Homo-oligomer: A and B are copies of this chain.
């Protein structure tokens, strides 16, 4: 097990009917900016619950934060924060709204002239404007971590940011919100959280037994609830397990003391930036291809995964490892997600080269748990996924 530091101060408030607790958690006399996305919260009753809970607070709204939160739109929200002297942010949404709010938390206190520098120059946020979240879409884990991904259409860029100042003060996780999420988004959440765990697990063994088993626990739970939640998103028990699994998949715990990969995400971000493919689906496109390309360095963990998560007990290490990859691809298909780039765009030719070029441009020349995947490797991995 590697040495590690772990601190996660976010307060989780989990369960049916908990949205009203916002009022207790936001400091009195705060001037609040409530941020949300395309307006689905106005159709499913969450908007009313939040506005009711904010009764007595001085608050302003900012809606319209899109999937893959867009820098230009966030800059409009930043202007509102400055004009209105906002001092507490409340994100009501999924990973995109929460990530956008994290950017604003950082940018609101940023002292430089160009907030894009936070992303472009990789400036960690030590202190941000305090914010809470009401999660409406389980998937990214952003509700209990300190990272965010921001997109800039102008330059077709999708970059990561983070820092110890970007943990939400509180996050309200009410699984009953899952009932009104469209099937496509539920499937995305399942694929996203599943791949989050894989990125922190599918590396090489270092006898971090507990971390391995926690990761396997989350994978097993997602596999178990996936058919239930897709069949009936109003199944509260399945929704609760789905929601808590998504949070635990990326709140930092399972990555402590172990090597992590994240190459699938780095390549996937480029596919979203290039073609607008849903984040989760880019991960499903690349996972099988990535594991096949890196079979030799990953096969020990692939075999352990096949055995413990998929109950594949027969065969050699190589056979089990291959079966593990196959099961992963089949899992994505079982939740209605295609795993070939050509199923998303007809203009896939040359994508490998373009992804490689963009990674090289950003200095991402050593991806993966060994830091040894060069842009040319990414090129071949993406090509394998056509």
A: residues with CB less than 8 A from B are: 1-18, 175, 207-211, 213-214, 216-218, 220-221, 224-225, 237, 240-241, 244-245, 248, 256-257
How far does the alpha carbon of A117 sit from the alpha carbon of B225 in the complex, in Å? 47
Assembly stoichiometry (copies): 2
B209 touches A221 (CB 8 A): yes
Residues of B within 8 A of A6 (CB): 11-12, 14
Cβ–Cβ < 8 Å partners of A18 in chain B: 3
Given contacts A14-B256, A213-B220, A217-B217, contact A237 B207 (CB under 8 A): yes
Q: Are A241 and B210 in contact (CB under 8 A)?
A: yes
What's the minimum C-beta distance from A226 to chain B, rounded to whole angstroms?
Answer: 12
Beta-carbon nearest neighbor of A210 in chain B: B221
The 5 A-B residue pairs with the shortest CB-CB distance, nearest first, are: A3-B15, A213-B217, A7-B11, A1-B240, A9-B9
| A175 proximity list for chain B (CB < 8 A) | 1
- Contact check: which of B4, B10, B15, B221 meets A15 at CB < 8 Å? B4
Q: Roughly how many angstroms separate A209 CA and B216 CA in the complex, as a whole number?
A: 12
Closest beta carbon of chain B to A311's beta carbon, Å = 12
Contact, CB under 8 Å: A221 / B225: no
Task: Please state if B210 and A248 are interface contacts (CB–CB under 8 Å).
Answer: yes
- Kindly state the separation between the CA atoms of A224 and B210 in the bound complex, as whole angstroms: 10
Q: How far is the CA of A274 from the CA of B372 in the complex (A)?
A: 61
Which of B210, B218, B224, B256 is within 8 Å of A245, CB to CB?
A: B210
Jot down 12 A-B pairs with beta carbons below 8 A, ordered by A.
A1-B244, A3-B14, A3-B16, A3-B17, A4-B14, A5-B12, A6-B14, A14-B256, A15-B257, A209-B225, A210-B244, A213-B218
Known: A6-B12, A241-B1. A213 touches B221 (CB 8 A): yes
Contact A1–B237 (Cβ < 8 Å): yes
Docked CA distance A1–B221 (Å): 14
Q: B residues within 8 A CB of A214?
A: 214, 217
Q: Is the CB of B13 within 8 A of A241?
A: no
Q: List the B side residues contacting A14 at CB < 8 Å.
A: 1, 3-6, 256-257
Max count, chain B CB within 10 A of own CB: residue among A211, A224, A241: A241
A174 nearest in chain B by CB position = B3
List B contacts of A10 (CB < 8 A): 7
CA distance A175 to B248 in the complex (A): 25
Name the residue on B nearest A13 (C-beta): B5
Chain B residue at smallest Cβ distance from A6: B12
| Of listed A10, A11, A210, residue having the most chain B CB within 10 A | A210
* Chain B residues whose CB sits within 8 angstroms of the CB of A208 once the complex forms: 240-241
In contact, A7 and B12 (Cβ under 8 angstroms): yes
When the two chains form their complex, are residues B11 and A241 in contact, meaning their CB atoms are under 8 A apart?
Answer: no
Would you give the shortest CB distance from A109 to chain B, in whole angstroms?
21
A257 near B237 with CB under 8 A, answer no
What is the minimal beta-carbon distance from A257 to any residue of chain B, in angstroms? 7
